[in-house]
Amino acid sequence: MKFKTLCGILLLCVAFSYGALAQTPVNQIGNVTAVKVDGQQINLSLNNAEAQIIVYSANIIRVRVDRKKLGDDFSYAVTGKAQKVKTIITQSDSSISISTDSLKAIVRKKPFLISFYTVDGKLINEDDKGLSTSWAGDAVTSYKKMQDDEHFIGLGEKTGNLDRKGSGYTNWNSDVYGYAVSADPLYSTIPFYMGLHHDLNYGIFLDNTYQSDFNFGASNNRFSSFGARGGILNYYFIYHKRVADIIRSYTDLTGRMPMPPLWSLGYQQNRYSYYPETEVMRIANTLREKKIPADGITLDIHYMDAYKLFTWNKDRFPNPLKMNTELNKLGFKTTVIVDPGIKVEKGAGAYERGIRDNVYIKYPDGEPYTGQVWPGWCNFPDFTSIKGRAWWRNEVKFFSESGVSGIWNDMNEIATWGQKMPDNVLFDYDGKPTSHLQAHNVYGLQMARSSYEGAREQFKERPFILTRSGYAGLQRYTALWTGDNRGEDDHMLAGVRLINSLGLSGVAFAGMDIGGFTGNPTTALYTRWIALGAFTPYFRNHTALNTKAAEPWSFGEDVLDIARNYISLRYQLMPYIYAGFYEAAQSGLPVMRSLAINYTHDPKILDTQFQNQYEFGNAFMVAPFESAKEFGKVYFPAGTWYDLYSDGLQRGNEEKIIQLAINKLPVFVKGGSIIPQQSLVQSTSQKPGDTLTVHVYKGEVSNSFVYYEDDGKSYAYEKGVFYKRQISFDPVLKEIVFHQIEGSYKSNFRFLKIALHGFGATSSISVNQQQKNLIDDKFAWMGVSNNPDLQANPNAPESCTIKSILIKNEDGAITLKY
């Protein structure tokens, strides 16, 4: 009897076990049970979900999936609208076919699976047939079959290798002081990546603001995946033949940067912290006395009264407007830091105005959430509400009245002491109330948006906005820097990859703290880093309170010479850099470019030996190395390359070991490049000389460059007050053409000096069919030949001899034949 009872119990246990397996905690999406086609949109009912597939453009297909009824469509990231394009949708009992002129998708019904193909039938991307889309609790994940030899790039501010394959990442904006070079997550969330395989490229943007997770074959050899801890699966699939066009389409969706103020592209001298006013003026005057070109001084939290926002410490800064006016006269603009926390203090102006206007985020019982940061216990404006953003825009008037030109948004992850903001804090989310879980990752984006919109309303000129935290689309409002890095070689190189990855993800205006924020860099590292900084979009020297001073003169005369050389080179290249920002504003292409953009399927560019190499604009290739290295291996992609300093020629598709020197950052110029250069100025407020030098490097393929000018400070460019001219080089026709001018702005330059590199014994050139003689011209990008105010120094790299000619900058087309 006992034996029978025991057997019965065992059978029940087995049955229960099988039942438990049947009732798996992972819920699959199921089969398609109903299909409704409405123009370019397909609505699907499934066993366990609803789905929607929308043809957004000829190259973009959007997929939305939810276990519940699909609700309102709302996004803080996406501003682009669906386009009406030729779309063919057909279906059978087993599948649905969706085709445009550029892309084809097949939806299988049993179970739901989606695959993407080129129009000629090549597989680009497909759901994993056994996994597809599923839920584990509230978390939804899409699993994609990993293709043979597939590689992954992008995902914004992420550490690690250029190639993300084999790694996994989490998006949850975090305050990570002095982070390790392998730390994840960091400060911002951009859930957009690109997959590369078999000469095919695609992009996937997951627009979900909950904590999201991406797996590119980490701990598995079967799939890549992306998903979020809440909300719906909502992604855009983008296909183009070129990575550059995928970035264009992604920024068609999420927007592009406005033209920045010209001064923000100059050298920025920062410190945590410069105070009092006399110290600020000492720094500014020393930069001028030592002829170090510079445009910006940044004030950290010590400018405030006890760290309280919208205040000045009157002992340290008795008359901020007067100080900023004096700085403006010296050619400096002031940027000040702002944190979101408003100190809880009865009678304090900002706090009381926030209470009056009911703008703070709250607990469910209606009490404002209180967290501790620099001023003490603080409340936090709800930037996801219309009235919260309006309140902040009005408060920004405080900075306009103080003569400030830039706003630096910090601690906006939200960061609080303890780093454990409760999940049950409530946000308005533009009329769709939600918890901290959904609002966290967009808080920094919405703060930066509020600062930008407030400054645009209140400031007389274009503002500079900087942020530490953000979400996809942040480029519409702000630049971003990579946070509290460390004064170490691996951080310098990690910073290069972070900026390149941000550029692949739509953020063209980005930078890192030159020299490292925490710790003390060696003299060699500082020297290498500041030279490298001249070839980054946002050029900011910044260090912490408890570190050694890091101004260019702080490391001795030799370092000062080298720093001054590279900062001066940056200012000579300002026409080239400004045109690069114009391209970013028009196309989304970054200023600092991973080689993956132009040389996508060259396997060498993903090699960890060469992954730090990058292009600055479309002309320069920079090869960074650790500061203590004496030799380095450089890979030259296809084409012809010139040594920046000597004009030495190098064939493409080759590796070369080069000798490294502390006074010479390895920089090379692509054959066919066109590079405009102005005379040296000490700030962008100073007018350069009346001659624009246009360097043309002979190459084997045609190239063009869009030269661009405007006043650098107003919004008149939005009404056509700009000067734009395409310059082209054609080695087959043997001509250089300055095309017809567009826009109503008058150029700063009356003359053009055409500087020819690699044109050999060419002695004359025809200008609009009139033959002109070329002259031999000894040229150096850096040093005494371009800086007559300084004595020659041994720290300037070598010079070379080129051919040149001076012509008048005429409004009509100018054709030069060699």
DSSP secondary structure string, 502-555? HHHTT--SEE-EET-SBS---HHHHHHHHHHHTTSSS-EE---TTS---SGGGG
- Name the token pair of 775: 């002259």
Q: Among residues 252, 289, 307, which one has the least CA distance to residue 56?
A: 252
In the structure encoding, which two tokens stand for residue 781, read together?
């990008």
Q: How many CB atoms lie within 10 A of CB 545?
A: 10
The torsion angle over the Cα atoms of residues 59, 65, 71 and 73, rounded to 10 degrees, is -20
Angle, to 10 degrees, between the axis of helix 557-572 and the axis of helix 574-587?
60
Name the active-site residue from 175, 252, 410, 489: 410
Beta carbons of 577 and 591 less than 8 angstroms apart: yes
Catalytic residue among 413, 513, 551, 710: 413
- Answer yes or no: are the C-beta atoms of 668 and 623 closer than 8 Å: yes
Asked if 600 contacts 814 with a C-beta cutoff of 8 angstroms, the reply is no
Type of residue found at 464: F
Task: Identify the bridge partners of residue 643 per DSSP, sorted by sequence position.
Answer: 668
Residue type, 20: A
The span from the CA of 571 to the CA of 188, in Å, is 30
Alpha carbon distance, N-terminus to C-terminus of the chain: 107
- The DSSP secondary-structure symbol of 300 reads -
The answer to whether the bond into 111 is cis (omega within 30° of 0) is yes
Q: What is the spatial distance between Cα 621 and Cα 613, in angstroms, rounded to a whole number? A: 7
**What span, in angstroms and rounded, lies between the C-alpha atoms of 11 and 204?**
48
Judge whether 753 and 738 are in contact, CB under 8 Å. Answer: no
- Determine the angle formed by the axes of helices 320-329 and 277-289, rounding to 10 degrees: 0
Q: Which residue has the tokens 């991406």?
A: 214
Active site residue 413: yes
Spatial contact of 715 and 462, defined as CB atoms under 8 Å apart: yes
Q: Alpha-carbon distance 642 to 656, whole Å?
A: 13
Cα of 374 vs its chain's centroid, Å: 28
Nearest to 596 by CA among 582, 613, 583, 579: 613
Residue pointed to by tokens 């063209």: 508
Sheet architecture: strand order including 751-757: 674-677, 691-697, 751-757, 800-808, 775-779
Q: Are 403 and 320 in contact (CB under 8 A)?
A: yes
Own/partner pairs for 375-380, CB < 8 Å, 24+ apart? 375/306, 375/307, 375/308, 375/309, 375/341, 375/343, 376/343, 376/344, 377/343, 377/344, 378/341, 378/342, 378/343, 378/344, 379/341, 379/342, 379/344, 379/351, 379/354, 380/340, 380/341, 380/342, 380/414
Any bridge partners for residue 471, and if so which?
189
- From residue 342, how far is each of 204, 371, 558 by CA, in Å? 38, 10, 45
Please tell me which residue in 245, 339, 382, 484 is annotated as part of the active site.
Answer: 484
What is the Cα–Cα distance from 141 to 143, expressed in whole angstroms? 6
Q: How many Å separate Cα 126 from the centre of its chain?
A: 29
Q: Kindly give the pairing relationship between strand 268-269 and strand 296-299.
A: parallel
410 is catalytic: yes
Q: Is the peptide bond before 261 cis (omega within 30 degrees of 0)?
A: no
How do 723-730 and 735-738 pair as beta strands?
A: antiparallel
- Residues annotated catalytic, as ranges: 410, 413, 484
